[in-house]
């Protein structure tokens, strides 16, 4: 069986899009994904299954929580590749909450990917965009929303500390 890491977009944003993690785990089990584990309240799910988990999780979110947002799914081995491909290893070591990865729902068109080339703190690799926020996240003009607009692809952002924790949890499954 494959271990999957699902990253939910736009979950538990203040008073919006409330998805209690215990309720999500119960609904995923009822939908055929027993043993799903969540991490934090921001919508991180680790599950072991031979099924195509993305559509199942999306359906649960839509039907049970009235949330129609993309679900970015990566296998455990793909998550390890993403960690190994980090173009900012110094930032990962020194500032793990300021190094972020935007997990994209799809591959961006090549012409749009070129729109990121003028930013030294941004690197596109496959369906992930690495952002080194250096000294601040909030108020930074280079951010996940700007990335999504330029690429024309939805995504969800996670900091390096969360990504490495998800890798650890996936390794235990």
Q: Say yes or no: 51 and 93 in one domain.
A: no
How many residues comprise the chain? 173
- pLDDT at site 15: 73
Which of 57, 77, 97 terminates a domain? The answer is: 77
- pLDDT at site 116: 87
Q: Say yes or no: 33 and 20 in one domain.
A: yes
Q: Say yes or no: 10 and 37 in one domain.
A: yes
How far apart, in whole angstroms, are the C-alpha atoms of residue 23 and residue 65? Answer: 10
Q: Say yes or no: 45 and 94 in one domain.
A: no
Q: Say yes or no: 102 and 71 in one domain.
A: no
Q: Which residue has tokens 């965009």?
A: 129
How far apart, in whole angstroms, are the C-alpha atoms of residue 56 and residue 58? Answer: 5
Which of 77, 108, 127 terminates a domain? The answer is: 77
Helix (H) or strand (E) holding 37: strand 37-39
Q: Say yes or no: 96 and 69 in one domain.
A: no
Q: Say yes or no: 16 and 91 in one domain.
A: no
- Residue 54 CA neighbour count, 13 Å, CB half: 11
- Given a cut of 50, the residues of the chain with pLDDT beneath it are none
Q: Say yes or no: 47 and 115 in one domain.
A: no
- Distances in whole angstroms, Cα of residue 77 to Cα of each of 31, 36, 83, 110, 168: 24, 18, 10, 25, 12
Number of domains the chain is built from: 2
Q: At 45, which CATH number? A: 3.30.70.1280
Range of the domain at 136: 82-171
Q: Say yes or no: 149 and 95 in one domain.
A: yes
Q: Say yes or no: 66 and 117 in one domain.
A: no
- pLDDT at site 167: 97
The residues, any chain, with a CB within 8 Å of residue 58's CB and separated by 6 or more, are 70, 71
Please, are residues 96 and 163 in contact by the beta-carbon 8 Å criterion?
A: no
φ, ψ of residue 71 to 5 degrees: the values are: -115, 120
- pLDDT at site 168: 96
Q: What is the pLDDT of residues 22-63, one digit of tens each?
A: 999 999 999 999 999 999 888 899 999 999 999 999 999 999
Which of 46, 77, 108 terminates a domain? The answer is: 77
How far apart, in whole angstroms, are the C-alpha atoms of residue 78 and residue 72? Answer: 12
How far apart, in whole angstroms, are the C-alpha atoms of residue 92 and residue 99? Answer: 6
Q: Say yes or no: 16 and 67 in one domain.
A: yes
Q: Say yes or no: 132 and 103 in one domain.
A: yes
């Amino acid at each position: 069986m494959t271990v999957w890491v699902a990253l939910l977009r736009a979950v538990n944003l203040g008073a919006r899009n409330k998805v209690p993690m215990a309720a999500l785990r119960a609904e995923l089990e009822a939908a055929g994904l027993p043993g799903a584990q969540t991490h934090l309240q921001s919508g991180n799910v680790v599950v072991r299954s031979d099924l195509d988990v993305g559509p199942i999780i999306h359906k649960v979110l839509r039907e049970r929580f009235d949330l129609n947002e993309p679900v970015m799914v990566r296998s455990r081995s793909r998550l390890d590749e993403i960690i190994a491909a980090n173009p900012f290893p110094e930032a990962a070591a020194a500032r793990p909450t300021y190094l972020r990865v935007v997990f994209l729902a799809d591959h961006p068109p090549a012409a749009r990917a070129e729109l990121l080339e003028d930013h030294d703190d941004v690197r596109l690799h496959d369906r992930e965009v690495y952002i080194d926020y250096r000294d601040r996240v909030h108020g930074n003009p280079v951010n996940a929303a700007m990335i999504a607009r330029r690429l024309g692809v939805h995504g969800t952002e996670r900091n390096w500390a969360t990504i490495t924790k998800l890798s650890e949890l996936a390794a235990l499954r």
